[in-house]
Amino acid sequence: MVASPPSKTLHSTVEVDLGSRTYPIYIGEGILREGDLLRKHVTSKRALVITNDRVGPLYLDETVAVLREGGVQVETVVLPDGEEYKSMEVLMKIMEAALTHRMDRTCTFVALGGGVIGDMVGFAAAIYQRGVKFVQVPTTLMAMVDSAVGGKTAVNHPLGKNMIGAFYQPQAVIADMATLRTLPDRELASGIAEVVKYGLIRDAAFFEWQEARVGALRARDAETLSEAVRRSCENKAAVVAADEREAGLRATLNLGHTFGHAIETGLGYGALLHGEAVAIGTHMAAVMSAKLGWIDAALAARAVALLRAAALPVELPRGGGMTPAKFEAAMALDKKVSEGELRLVLLRGPLGGCVFTGEYDAAAMRETIAEFCARQ
C-alpha cells in the first residue's frame, strides 16, 4: 500500500483506491517547495490557489512560484482564517474570483491550508461549472490525517456543522511535513485528536504506539510525526476505499464527532478548534460506551489519559453554557440521523473495536450529556 517512488526529496505515498478516481497522498519533508508533485497533478493551463490570511504569508508565494515554473497561469484568493468563516457567504468569494478571472472547466483549484480551506475549496470545486479538478495541500496535522483525505467537502450552517456539501475527491493530497513547523501548539494538539481516533476504532497497535510516543508527537519529532500521518492516512484510505459515501463503515470515522459537532454548534463556531471539540466528544463517547457495558472502565480511562497527554481538553469549557437541550437540538440535526433515529459511533469490545448504531439505551446518552454539562 505504501511505496516511495523516485524523487529529489524522499516521500512516502498512500493510495486511496477508488477505481478510476484513485489518487495518491504524498507525505514528505519539503515536497511543496520542490514542486514536482504539485506540478504533476495540476495538469491544466490555469489554476486558482485558495488560502487564508494565516497560511498565505507563509506558503502562498512559493506555491504560486512552483506552479508558474511549470507554465501554469495562477490566480489567488486569500480568505479570512477560522471556522466561523466556513460559510456560504465566504464560499462565494471563491466563486467570484473564479468567475472574475474567467476560469473554465479545465482549470484546477488548489486548497492551501487547514481543514476549513480544504473543505471549502473542495466544495467550491464540486459546484463550480458542475465540477473542476482540485488538489489538496494541507498545512495542519488535522487536515493531513483527516479532512484532506476522502473527499468530504462542506460549509457550515448556523444550525449545524458541515450540513451543506458534497462528496468530491481531489486529484492528489500533498502533505509537506515542513509546514507543521509553523503550526501553533494548540493546532498540533487538535490534529492529534483525529490520530487518537484511528487507534480507538480500528487499530489497537497504532493506539499503543501513540501511548508510547505522545511526548514525541507533541515535541514535533519529525520521524514520529511522519509515521503518525502515514499510519492515519493508511487507516482512512482503507475505510474510504471500502465505503466512499458513508453507507456504514466510514461512519465509524466519526467517533466523538456527533457530540463534538453539537459542542461546536452550541458554543459558536470558532470557540473551540475542531479537534478540541472532538476530544471532548470522544471522552463522552467513551463514558457512554462504558455505561452501556460495551467497554471496560480501564479502556475508557486509557482513551482519556492519551487525550490529556496530548494537551487536549476532555471536559466542556467552564462558563460555556452548554445544556442538555442544546446538545439534543444540535444532535437532532446531525447527518447520522436516519428516519428520526440518531445513530452514534461508540466503542465496543476490546481496544480497536467500535460500532455505528442506533440501538443503544438512550438513557445512557442523556445521562452522559447531563454529567458533562453539570461539570462546566
Instruction: Check pLDDT > 70 for residue 9.
Output: no
Mean confidence (pLDDT) of the chain: 95
Whether 236 is a known active-site residue: answer: yes
In the set 86, 231, 236, 336, the catalytic residue is 236
Catalytic entry in 194, 244, 264, 276: 194
The closest of 207, 214, 83 to 154, measured between CA atoms, is 83
In this model, does residue 175 exceed pLDDT 90? yes
Which pLDDT belongs to residue 250?
95
Mean pLDDT of 54-73: 98
The reply to whether 152 belongs to the active site is yes
Model pLDDT, residue 372? 98
Does the pLDDT at position 359 exceed 70? yes
User: What confidence score (pLDDT) does residue 351 get?
Assistant: 98
Mean pLDDT calculated for residue range 175-204: 98
Return the C-alpha torsion angle 26, 161, 130, 48, nearest 10. -50
Share of the chain above pLDDT 70, in %: 98
The pTM (predicted TM-score) of the whole model is 0.94
Catalytic residue among 133, 261, 326, 336: 261
Q: What is the mean pLDDT of residues 280-300?
A: 98
Mean pLDDT of 73-91: 97
Q: Is residue 257 flagged as an active site residue?
A: yes
Q: Which cell goes with 127? A: 459546484
Structure confidence at residue 334 as a pLDDT band (50, 70, 90): confident
Q: Which CATH architecture has domain 185-374?
A: Up-down Bundle (1.20)
Query: pLDDT value at position 8?
Result: 62
Domain boundary assignment for the chain = 2-182, 185-374
Structure confidence at residue 304 (pLDDT): 98
Considering the candidates 130, 245, 318, 375, report the single residue annotated as catalytic: 130
Q: Stretch 176-199: mean pLDDT, rounded?
A: 98
Residue pLDDT, tens place only, 126-155: 999 999 999 999 999 999 999 999 999 999
Catalytic residue check, 21 = no
CATH of 2-182, one of 2.70.160.11, 3.40.50.1970, 3.40.50.300, 2.120.10.30: 3.40.50.1970
Compute and round to an integer the Cα radius of gyration of the chain: 20
Exposed e or buried b per residue across 60-93, where buried means at least 16 C-beta atoms within 10 angstroms of its C-beta: beebbebbeeeebebbbbbbebebebbbeebbeb
Query: Averaged over 247-266, what is the pLDDT?
Result: 95
- Predicted confidence at residue 336, as pLDDT, reads 84
Looking at 1-5, 102-106, 227-231, which range is the least confident one?
1-5
33-48 burial by CB neighbour count: b if 16+ within 10 A, else e?
A: bbbebbbebbebebbb
What torsion do the CA atoms of 12, 279, 347, 213 make, to the nearest 10 degrees? Answer: 50
Query: Of 161, 202, 274, 336, which is the active-site residue?
Result: 274
Residue tagged active-site, from 197, 202, 250, 335:
250
Report whether pLDDT(7) > 80.
no
What is the number of alpha carbons within 13 Å of residue 157 lying toward its C-beta? 10
pLDDT of 4 over the 50 cut: no
Position 3 pLDDT exceeds 50: no
What confidence tier does 344 reach under pLDDT thresholds 50, 70, 90?
A: very high
User: Considering 83, 244, 246, 264, which one is annotated as catalytic?
Assistant: 246
